[in-house]
Amino acid sequence: MTKETLILLPGMMCDRSLWRHQIESLSVTYDVQVADFRDGASIEAYADKVLEAAPKTFSVAGLSMGGYVAFDLVRRAPERIKRLALLDVSPYADTEDHATFRKSIMESARNQGMGAIMEMLLPRLIHPSRIGDEDLVGQVDAMAHRVGENVFIKQQEALLNRRDCFADLGAITCPTVVIVGRQDQLTPLKLSQKMVEAMKNASLVEIESCGHLSSMEQPEAVSAVLRYWMQS
C-alpha cells in the first residue's frame, strides 16, 4: 500500500537535520520528505518548488520560515493539503523594527560570516537552559554553517518581503495543529494563540521548556504530536 506523504519544511538557516527525529520516527508509517530552501529568494519561489515535487495531495509541517511557506501552499493549493502543522510561526509580516534588525544581520553575515550570526541568534533560538548543551548547540551551529551566509542572506530577503497571512487564516479548513515552544522568544505563545482563534479547525500544543527550534529541542514531544495529527 502506498504511504501517505508528509512534507517537512525547514526554517531559516536550517536543513533536514532540523527534522532528524521526526524523520526517523515517522518514516516507518509515512513517506516523509524534506524540502530544500537553499535556492530561491522568496517565499513564493520556495512554495513553487514544493508544489512541483509533491504528489497530488500531501500533509505539510513547517517550522518558522517553513511555516510561512506552508501558509503560501495552503493559500494557493488548498485542495492538495490534507493536514497542516505550524511550528513556532508568526502569521504577520515583519514590523519596521524587525525589518531593520533583519537588514542588520544580513550585513553582519556579509562582513563577518555565520560564526558572528550564530553568536547573535543562538540565544534567541533555543531555551536558555540549553545554551550549555554542547550536543544541541553543536547541531544547530553545524546546520547553520552548512546552509552558509549566502543562502542565509537570500532567506532574509524572502522573509523581509513575505506577505502578511493573518487575514488568510479563516479560510484554512484542513485539520491543523499549531505547535509552539512555551518560551519561544522569536514567535511567542500569544501569536500561536491568536492563530488558533482565527482558524476553523485548529488546535494548539504548547511544548514546555522549549524555545524556537522545537523539533530539535524537544524532539520526542514534537514527533508524538505530529504522529497524532497525522492520524486525524
- Give the whole-angstrom CA distance, residue 195 versus residue 211: 18
Average of pLDDT values for 24-41? Answer: 96
- Give the whole-angstrom CA distance, residue 74 versus residue 134: 37
- Give the whole-angstrom CA distance, residue 101 versus residue 103: 5
- Give the whole-angstrom CA distance, residue 215 versus residue 219: 5
Tens digits of residue pLDDT in 102-134:
999 999 999 999 999 999 999 999 999 999 999
pLDDT, residue 101, reads 95
**Is a pLDDT exceeding 90 seen at residue 232?**
no
- Annotate 1-11 with b (16+ C-beta within 10 A) or e (fewer): eeebbbbbbbb
**Is a pLDDT exceeding 90 seen at residue 1?**
no
pLDDT, residue 196, reads 98
CA atoms within a 13 Å half-sphere pointing along the CA-CB vector of 107 = 6
Predicted confidence band of residue 150 (pLDDT cuts 50, 70, 90): very high
Tens digits of residue pLDDT in 39-78:
999 999 999 999 999 999 999 999 999 999 999 999 999 9
**Is a pLDDT exceeding 80 seen at residue 4?**
yes
Specify the pTM.
0.97
Tens digits of residue pLDDT in 158-201:
999 999 999 999 999 999 999 999 999 999 999 999 999 999 99
